[in-house]
């Protein structure tokens, strides 16, 4: 018998538990999630496994959070720009990254990663507060670097913060309030809010607000170019 064939689970049960715990924690939150459901979803017939591999439910949660925080966002966050890159292009790149990796994070990785992080960011628990801090700080520092270059130097740091919150707020709203949006515009229209649509809109809105001139990268002949305001008289 060449194959070991003792394989109801080829991978370690510890990783299956982590995966299942991530899903349940993301869906129901820390309190509403139960160790029995986590074990059931992991295919582990034993609830003591959680206390065996991890110490508590609490450390399991912390471990799950630490796993979710290791996002591919970081790998893309540092980019070498050509000297000719305009500020508006960098801003569009950042907004696109935020939209793609956070707002619509459902294709390249299990969706519970961002679900869990959003939960921790909007309602931080003492368990994962530090993890959440380390998760978002580089995001904002990247945006601040872009804005400092794009905007006049006399700008106060306070105003810079407010501008960054205006930009990030536009992106995050489509995730944090996605249920509200679904109710307001319907499920069908919300489904058409893909990454490119949102990135284009938010970039255009923000660049106009900041006085940066920006042109849509691809002419995209299919979509009718609709200007929010005609050229000033």
Residue placing its CB nearer to a second copy in the complex, 49 or 198: 198
Give the one residue of 12, 32, 48, 191 binding a second copy; rule: CB under 8 A: 32
Q: Could you give the 3-state DSSP secondary structure of residue 227?
A: coil
Q: Extract the tokens encoding 131.
A: 């993890």
**Least distance from C-beta 126 to a second copy, angstroms?**
12
Shortest spacing between CB 126 and DNA, in angstroms = 15
CA atoms of 195 and 207, how far apart (whole Å): 18
Q: Is 34 an interacting residue with respect to DNA (CB under 7 A)?
A: yes
**Site membership for a second copy, residue 210 (CB under 8 A):** yes
CA atoms within 13 A on the CB side of 173: 11
Query: By CB under 8 A, is residue 74 in contact with a second copy?
Result: no
- Which of DNA, a second copy, none does residue 15 bind to, with CB < 5 to 8 Å depending on kind? none
Residue whose CB is less far from DNA, 8 or 222? 8
Residue with tokens 């913060």: 161
**Burial tier of 22 (Cβ tally within 10 Å: 0-12, 13-18, 19+):** buried
* Identified binder of a second copy from the candidate list 70, 208, 216, 220, rule CB under 8 A: 208
Q: Which is nearer to a second copy, 34 or 76 (CB)?
A: 34
The reply on whether position 57 binds a second copy by CB under 8 A is: no
The rounded Cα 45 to chain-centroid distance in angstroms is: 33
The reply on whether position 51 binds DNA by CB under 7 A is yes
Closest CB to a second copy among 53 and 205?
205
Taking CB under 7 A as the rule, does residue 125 contact DNA?
Answer: no
Site for DNA in 52-81 (CB under 7 A): 52-53, 55-58
Q: In sequence order, what are the residues at sequence separation of 6 or more whose Cβ sits closer than 8 angstroms to the Cβ of residue 99?
A: 171, 174, 195, 198, 199, 202
DSSP secondary-structure letter at 232?
A: P
Residue whose structure tokens are 């700008």: 155
Whichever of 44 and 139 has its CB closer to a second copy, that residue is 139
Strand, helix or coil at 124?
Answer: coil
Q: How far is CA 112 from the centre of its chain?
A: 11
DSSP secondary structure string for all residues of 178-229: HHHHHHHHHHHHHHT--HHHHHHHHHHHHHHHHT-----SS--TTSPP--SS
Residue 6 contacts which entry, a second copy, DNA, none (Cβ below 5-8 A, type-dependent): DNA
Which residues form the interface with DNA (CB under 7 A)?
4, 6, 9, 13, 33-37, 44-53, 55-58
Which residues form the interface with a second copy (CB under 8 A)?
28-29, 31-32, 121-124, 132-133, 136-137, 140, 151-152, 154-156, 158-159, 161-163, 165-166, 168-174, 176-177, 179-181, 183-185, 189, 192-193, 197-198, 201-202, 205-206, 208-212, 226-230, 232
């Amino acid at each position: 018998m060449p194959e070991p064939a003792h394989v109801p689970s080829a991978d370690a049960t510890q990783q299956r538990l982590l995966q299942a715990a991530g899903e349940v924690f993301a869906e129901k939150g820390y309190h509403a999630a139960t160790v029995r459901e986590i074990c059931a979803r992991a295919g582990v017939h034993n609830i003591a496994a959680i206390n065996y591999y991890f110490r508590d439910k609490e450390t399991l949660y912390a471990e799950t959070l630490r796993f979710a925080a290791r996002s591919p966002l970081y790998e893309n966050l540092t980019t070498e720009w050509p000297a000719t890159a305009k500020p508006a292009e960098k801003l569009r790149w950042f907004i696109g990254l935020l939209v793609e990796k956070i707002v619509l994070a459902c294709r390249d990785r299990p969706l519970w990663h961002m679900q869990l992080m959003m939960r921790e960011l909007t309602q931080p628990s003492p368990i994962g507060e530090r993890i959440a801090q380390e998760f978002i700080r580089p995001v904002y520092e990247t945006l601040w670097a872009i804005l400092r270059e794009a905007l006049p130097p006399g700008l106060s740091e306070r105003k810079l913060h407010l501008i960054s919150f205006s930009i990030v707020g536009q992106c995050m709203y489509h995730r944090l309030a996605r249920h509200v949006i679904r109710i307001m515009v319907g499920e069908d229209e919300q489904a058409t809010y893909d990454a490119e649509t949102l990135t284009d809109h938010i970039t255009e809105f923000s660049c106009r607000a900041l006085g940066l001139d920006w042109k849509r990268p691809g002419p995209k002949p299919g979509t009718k170019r609709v200007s929010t305001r005609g050229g000033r008289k």
